[in-house]
Structure 1
Amino acid sequence: MVKNYYSPSYEITPFTMAVLADFGKTEEYTTCVLETQEEFFVEPSPTKLVDFACKSFGASLKGRQEGTRDICNITHKAPIAIDPSSGMYFFPTISPINTKCSWIAHTHIDQLKMTDNHCTEILFKNGKSVTIDVSYGSMLNQIQRTAQFRYLLDNRIKYLRRQGADMVAEPYA
């Protein structure tokens, strides 16, 4: 259900599918948030919302980007894990310093479609879709890079948990 309303504040959750840069009806810059059950507009830019979300889980957006670089050497348009334990992995559509940058939740994507106007339609698992003014190749690359990052980070977390379990099982071995 689409709800065209403005919310004074918003926090990204596991139900957030996309945080889109959008120009509202008043031609003021606003952000459109797509969730699994609703859509609405908020004041902060998409990148600011992502930074707020990262901070609510103990790190800044910049820190998350540096972590991505350290784990898989992605330096530009880096995907991030807002909260890996709840599957909140997002990637930017263009450079996050650009005001037209949107953020897409990797978990919610079902498929991509190339459009006639060199844009990309993102089809989400719940049947909703959105068209982004980014090439199909660029979007496909972002999805693949996010999948690589998720795989490497998830393996690192599993390894550390196993190491912790071994240390608890044999603390003086």
Structure 2
Amino acid sequence: MNGLKQTQIEEYEINARTMFVEPVVYGGKIYSRAVELEDEFLSPFKPLDIIKNSCLYYGVDYESRKRGTRQLIGYSRKLSIIIEPTYHIYFFPTVSPQLPECIWIALEHVECYRRISAQKAMVIFRNKQSYIFPVSASTIESQMLRTSFLKTKLMQRIESNGKKVFYSARGPESVNALERSLEYDANLKDENES
């Protein structure tokens, strides 16, 4: 542990301060240790349950988030999840989310990572805290790249949609209104001349 006081709580929702959620064995059961920038929490739920509940907390179910990731980036294994895009809450799993040892890491908080051994990587977070995870540095790298790609694709869609709305509100409607008024003026002119 990093000298942080660990608070045991019933429910935990991932938020913009959450750096990672990892499984811990507590009393013979798998719990979750949620590490935030300045706090640590112990929850009786498994990490995947916390991810699922956090998706629901922000209004979308986990399965929909998975389908969205597949649709946006075309991957189907170890899928990164957009928990809440407005606050840039994107998490990636270190192994298959179905495995009990899966750790979920927040993309936004990772500053860098280093290889410690073949199956261990140190992740240094933006608050300068570092943790060693039982996963290869190449896995951390590929998961970060996928999650960054997911974030970029989503932002492109949002931006593209915003432009469509802007152009449809400004462009064609203004042109049509102008064309109609010219047509109307021409008709009036013809009527007045007769």
TM-score w.r.t. the length of structure 1 is: 0.93
Query: Which residue matches 2:100?
Result: 99
Count of aligned residue pairs for this structure pair: 172
Residues 21 and 30, structure 1, Cα contact 8 Å, conserved in 2: yes
Residues 2 and 40, structure 1, Cα contact 8 Å, conserved in 2: no
Aligned mate of 2:6, from 4, 7, 10: 4
Query: Which residue matches 1:86?
Result: 87
Percent of aligned positions that are identical: 26
Residues 69 and 75, structure 1, Cα contact 8 Å, conserved in 2: yes
In structure 1, what is the Cα distance between the partners aligned to 2:135 and 2:28? 21
In structure 1, what is the Cα distance between the partners aligned to 2:4 and 2:126? 17
Tell me the SS of whatever aligns to 2:5: strand
Larger radius of gyration: 2
In structure 2, what is the Cα distance between the partners aligned to 1:90 and 1:137? 17
Residues 6 and 39, structure 2, Cα contact 8 Å, conserved in 1: no
Larger helix percent = 2
In structure 1, what is the Cα distance between the partners aligned to 2:164 and 2:102? 39
Tell me the SS of whatever aligns to 2:117: coil
Residues 119 and 132, structure 1, Cα contact 8 Å, conserved in 2: yes
Tell me the SS of whatever aligns to 1:121: strand
Residues 32 and 39, structure 1, Cα contact 8 Å, conserved in 2: yes
Query: Which residue matches 2:129?
Result: 128
TM-score w.r.t. the length of structure 2 is: 0.83
Give unmatched runs, 5+ long, in structure 2: 177-194
In structure 2, what is the Cα distance between the partners aligned to 1:39 and 1:119? 22
In structure 1, what is the Cα distance between the partners aligned to 2:105 and 2:47? 10
In structure 1, what is the Cα distance between the partners aligned to 2:31 and 2:72? 33
Give unmatched runs, 5+ long, in structure 1: none
